Structure 1
Amino acid sequence: MADGAAIWRIARDSKALDLNSSYSYLLWCRDFAATSVVARDSQEAPVAFVTGYIRPERPRILVVWQVAVDHAHRGRGLAAALLDGLTARVAKSAGIEGIETTITPDNTASNRLFTSFADRHGAAVEREVLFDGGLFPDGGHEPEVLYRIGPLGA
């Protein structure tokens, strides 16, 4: 739970993620720690995270909610390493066979991250619009495209 405030700051400073309330990050670290991961620097401070959960309706799928890396630690493959490690851990503990995430069309970094993840794991990628931009009440939101990646191989 102690990481909640730090991952909220990383998400806020990313300038790319939809920022949730600080309270939600505290809850996430309590309730979804088994399906999430935090990377730390040499002083044990959080510098990156991947949050996820397993949908009750699809217990073999890990939904990746957010991925963020602190600016000072970008460009080192940390997001990919965290995503690989998390999915391997959750595959072993919960038997997941694939992942889902949503990405806006303008998020090139996330598109590359998840497409390369699929390539590394010999998995297919299916894409479809999950939420049209017009559904968001605050306006000006890009559509959220659902990426279904699986089945996971290597």
Structure 2
Amino acid sequence: MWQMASDSTTLDVNPPYAYLLWCRDYATTSVIAHIDGRPAGYLTGYRRPEQPDTVMVWQIAVSSAHRGAGVAGQMLDHLVQRLQPEGVTNVEASITPDNVASQRLFSAFARRWNAPLEREELFGSELFPIDHASEQLFRIGPLRVPQHG
């Protein structure tokens, strides 16, 4: 996971230890995709404590060999299908304005799940102690039956 985050050039890279803890403590709200027995992508997320019907996607990354093959969208779909029986009806993600790939991913996800997509500023750049773009909150929901095809 750490290597995929490092290779992405768009994600904030956490220490390797953080990814190990994430896998242990948030396994039910995270996904690791495998292709031919090897990790091809990961999604880390958590349910919002104050809004348990919402899963916040923390990071999503796909290995360079598998980008553009729909792996990220499949991981999102898998996560939501797993959590819907537990009452999850909304998905959130924070995305920087220059991360066009993630914006497209979540916009396509909203269309596929017949759900409205709202955007608003989550954290302005002035809140970060280092040079960092603002983070926009993408809120998708309520989710409906997905369209395939």
Aligned AA for 2:137?
L
Count residues in correspondence.
145
Matches within 5 A, 1:3-152: 7-42=1-36, 44-92=37-85, 94-138=86-130, 140-152=131-143
Structure 1 counterpart SS, 2:52: coil
CA shift, 1:108, in A, is 0.3
Q: Report the Cα distance in structure 2 between the residues aligned to 1:91 and 1:50, rounded to whole angstroms.
A: 17
TM-score by length of 1: 0.92
Aligned AA for 1:80?
G
Aligned AA for 1:39?
A
Structure 1: gaps of 5 or more residues: 1-6
Q: Which runs of 4+ in 1 moved over 6 A?
A: none
CA shift, 1:41, in A, is 2.1
Q: How much identity, in percent, do the aligned residues show?
A: 52
TM-score by length of 2: 0.95
Residue 153 in structure 1 maps to residue 144 in structure 2: yes
Structure 1 counterpart SS, 2:51: coil
Structure 2: gaps of 5 or more residues: none
* 1:62-98 deviation line (CA, Å, top 9, x unaligned): 0001110000011111100111111111112x21011
CA shift, 1:46, in A, is 1.1
